[in-house]
Amino acid sequence: MYVGQTCHTAADRFNQHKTGTRASRWVKRYGTRIVPELTRDYPEFDTVAESLAAEAELASRLRRLKFCVYGGH
């Protein structure tokens, strides 16, 4: 599971990872799909600080659920 922040749509960012544009090597190598149901409760954020805090919280929540998470710094 990869968690990250972007100003792009999830589909656009996933395609960037898969084609090597500013890519996570983990997503490029092992990514198979987007899982939007895990993030549907998250709004768009107004500041980078808000986005980073939400990213860290989501990564932490997924780790507690026993997902193997990359990113989410």
Q: List, for residues 15-54, the tens digit of each pLDDT value.
A: 999 998 888 888 889 889 988 888 888 888 888 899 889 8
pTM of the model: 0.71
- CA nearest neighbour of 1 among 73, 46, 66: 66
What range does the domain containing 16 cover?
Answer: 2-71
- The position carrying tokens 């939400």 is 54
How many folded domains does the chain comprise?
A: 1
Asked whether the predicted pLDDT for residue 62 surpasses 80, the reply is yes
